[in-house]
Chains A and B, each alone.
Chain A
Amino acid sequence: MTNPADNLTDRQAGSQGVNLSVNLGGLQMKNPVTTASGTFGFGPEYAPYVDLNRLGAITVKGTTLEPRKGNPTPRIAETPAGILNCIGLQNPGVDHFIREDLPYLRNYDTPVIVNIAGNSLDDYAEVTRRLSGAQGVSALEVNISCPNVKQGGMVFGTDCMMAAEVIRVVRENTTLPLIAKLSPNVTDIVEIAGRVAEAGADALALINTLLGMKIDIRSRKPFLGNIMGGLSGPAIRPVAVRMVWQAAQAVRLPILGMGGIMNAEDAIEFILAGATAVAVGTANFVNPAATMDIITGIQQYMRDNGITDINDLVGAAWK
């Protein structure tokens, strides 16, 4: 049992000893740790395991204008140190989210980042308008990189001009901090990062999943219901760290780094590569309290290394 007094001492030392707060393109976060969209539902799913008030931000499941059914099963396959998924943006639609899910999140003292996706520029514009008018939305993460939907998604994210166009349309319709979530399935991450920065993004999120697939050798057919899926988990971490490193040096925007972060050491690696904040995704499935452990671990690392401000670590590997 933890003595409540010890806990209090820890908190005070945490807040007084080191500064964990960061600013992600206008989004003020009390620490740099958020959840990766699609791995944390709308928040309540993990409330039994996580103190949602302790998170730097909650990033919710990808939301579209109309409800989406999602893809046929199987939607998930395990790979060495990773998973492939092809959920297909199943979600109840933006109006349902605002009416049914957002009020719950307003109970917490934690900013909410809403991930948005669309089939067309008009979809993105309309979702943006509806969310911008909703109380309790702190930032938008624009998904131009989902590998699992036929229209939109990655199609926008892998074409520089289309990616920039989506960001421009969202920008025109909101004053909320705008985070562009980039696809790693591109030839040059730096070029696309530059284009979305010019189009008005306030921050970049990278990386989304890497396109992959698995074939069942018994049936001799693709394993996943949607044939291809997005690879996440520790297997992709080195790719993600490399892309954060490249984008951070090329573009003057804060970065939300993600891709296989399992623990505080992994998170710190992303921060050193240039991420201002980090998102925890697949790790939630393995350890439901992963985000809490990571926040504590980052604090500990800072104390152990005499770092007083987390911002001093951002990009320290190349600065």
Chain B
Amino acid sequence: MSFSGLGEVVMNTKVGPEHFLMRVYVPQLTKLAKPGRFVHIRCSSGMDPLLRRPISLHGIDYGKGTISLLYQVVGTGTRMLAEMSPGDGIDLMGPLGNGFTIPDGINKALVVGGGIGVAPLFPLVQSLKHYGIEQTVLLGARSAAFVIGREQLESLGVKVKIATDDGSFGYQGFVTGLAEDVIPAAKPDYFFACGPYPMLKGLISLTKGFGLSGQVSLEEYMGCGVGACLACVCKNRTGGGTEQPASAGGFEYKKVCTDGPVFEASEVILDD
């Protein structure tokens, strides 16, 4: 099941140097929403930009029939989104893709977000809290100004630690470095992550060293969003996670839009 049609923008506010938070009233879509799924938005009513933009669900209010989207202005499409006002109609498809699943038996989760990758982690953090799973959230950003959502996460009562590339806030360095420091003490038994590929790649390698399994949410240039065009693919290990080098042909391309965007961390092969 998936909705395609118009929602109504009820809020669109600047929340960071390049970041906006939009809330959309679209009850038919909201009722199908789950953490980790995304919506595919037509930003222009004209022909440029032509393609829709996939934006992950940042907040879901089943009662009010609204979803919220936390996005960073990175190009023409997202700039057009940022210019929308309350009352405007917005053309959306969704929710699309497979979201996060919370495995049975986990007690302590490590949640890691890098850059705008924090966006889909909020509804996940709420779900984890709902199930009574203890969690440590690590956020990585370029600098203090680019740290988004710390207060909101803390207000949910979860532990948040920050890493900034320039050291202007919290740990100085990449969030993977912070994770390396945190894991031995926090002793998580599972992890969830979303962020740029180098971060995910580092984190997958790090967590493997600790024997920790988890899920990652991927991002890729996308066409249709429904699994038809095969544009947004990622390399996936074949044969149930066995170690085969990609050069030996031990991978297949899976669709980020419909097989993901959330994958088991052990399945994905991220190139440099």
Q: Which residues of A contact B (CB under 8 A)?
A: 38-41, 45-46, 48-49, 61, 69-70, 72-78, 80-83, 85, 87, 90, 233-234, 262, 282, 284-289
Q: Is the beta-carbon distance between A78 and B2 smaller than 8 angstroms?
A: no
B50 within 8 A of A: yes
Q: Which of B141-149, B161-169, B215-223 contacts A (4 or more CB under 8 A)?
A: B215-223
The B contact surface, by secondary structure, is loop
- Known contacts A73-B220, A76-B222; decide if A81 and B50 are in contact (CB<8 Å): yes
User: Residue-by-residue, is B239-256 near A (CB-CB < 8 Å gives 1, otherwise 0)?
Assistant: 000000000010111000
Measured CB to CB, the nearest residue on chain A to B257 is: A45
Q: Is the beta-carbon distance between A288 and B226 smaller than 8 angstroms?
A: yes
Q: Which residues of B contact A (CB under 8 A)?
A: 1-2, 4, 42, 47-52, 93, 220-234, 249, 251-253, 258, 271
- B223 partner residues in chain A, CB cutoff 8 A: 76, 83, 85, 285
- The answer for the CA separation of A90 and B48 in the assembled complex, in Å, is 27
- Known contacts A83-B50, A90-B230, A288-B4; decide if A75 and B221 are in contact (CB<8 Å): yes
- Shortest beta-carbon distance, B198 to chain A, in Å? 14
B233 interface neighbour in A75, A282, A286, A289, Cβ under 8 Å: A75
Q: Is the beta-carbon distance between B229 and A39 smaller than 8 angstroms?
A: yes
- A83 partner residues in chain B, CB cutoff 8 A: 50-51, 223
Q: Is the beta-carbon distance between B229 and A85 smaller than 8 angstroms?
A: yes
Q: Is the beta-carbon distance between B50 and A75 smaller than 8 angstroms?
A: no
- The answer for the CA separation of A69 and B253 in the assembled complex, in Å, is 7
- A82 partner residues in chain B, CB cutoff 8 A: 50
- The answer for the CA separation of A230 and B1 in the assembled complex, in Å, is 32
Q: Is the beta-carbon distance between B228 and A41 smaller than 8 angstroms?
A: yes
Measured CB to CB, the nearest residue on chain A to B252 is: A69
A–B Cβ pairs within 8 angstroms, 9 of them? A48-B4, A49-B4, A75-B233, A87-B230, A90-B233, A90-B253, A282-B50, A285-B50, A287-B42
- Shortest beta-carbon distance, A7 to chain B, in Å? 18
Q: Is the beta-carbon distance between A76 and B252 smaller than 8 angstroms?
A: no
- B232 partner residues in chain A, CB cutoff 8 A: 73, 75-76
Q: Is the beta-carbon distance between A74 and B224 smaller than 8 angstroms?
A: no
- The answer for the CA separation of A257 and B271 in the assembled complex, in Å, is 39
Measured CB to CB, the nearest residue on chain B to A286 is: B50
Q: Is the beta-carbon distance between B51 and A286 smaller than 8 angstroms?
A: yes
Q: Is the beta-carbon distance between A48 and B51 smaller than 8 angstroms?
A: no
- The answer for the CA separation of A197 and B230 in the assembled complex, in Å, is 32
- Known contacts A73-B233, A76-B222, A83-B223; decide if A284 and B50 are in contact (CB<8 Å): no
Q: Is the beta-carbon distance between B221 and A285 smaller than 8 angstroms?
A: no
- Shortest beta-carbon distance, B26 to chain A, in Å? 16
Measured CB to CB, the nearest residue on chain B to A75 is: B231
- The answer for the CA separation of A234 and B50 in the assembled complex, in Å, is 9
- B42 partner residues in chain A, CB cutoff 8 A: 286-287
- B253 partner residues in chain A, CB cutoff 8 A: 69-70, 90
Q: Is the beta-carbon distance between A46 and B226 smaller than 8 angstroms?
A: yes
Residue from B49, B50, B230 whose CB has the most chain A CB atoms within 10 Å: B50
- A289 partner residues in chain B, CB cutoff 8 A: 4
- A286 partner residues in chain B, CB cutoff 8 A: 42, 50-52
Q: Is the beta-carbon distance between A81 and B221 smaller than 8 angstroms?
A: no
- Shortest beta-carbon distance, A212 to chain B, in Å? 14
- Shortest beta-carbon distance, A117 to chain B, in Å? 14
- The answer for the CA separation of A87 and B221 in the assembled complex, in Å, is 12
Q: Is the beta-carbon distance between A48 and B229 smaller than 8 angstroms?
A: no
Q: Is the beta-carbon distance between B48 and A81 smaller than 8 angstroms?
A: yes
- The answer for the CA separation of A89 and B60 in the assembled complex, in Å, is 37
- The answer for the CA separation of A119 and B229 in the assembled complex, in Å, is 21
B47 interface neighbour in A49, A85, A234, A284, Cβ under 8 Å: A234
- The answer for the CA separation of A65 and B259 in the assembled complex, in Å, is 24
- The answer for the CA separation of A284 and B42 in the assembled complex, in Å, is 12
Q: Is the beta-carbon distance between A70 and B230 smaller than 8 angstroms?
A: yes
- B249 partner residues in chain A, CB cutoff 8 A: 69
- B221 partner residues in chain A, CB cutoff 8 A: 73-77
Q: Is the beta-carbon distance between A87 and B229 smaller than 8 angstroms?
A: yes
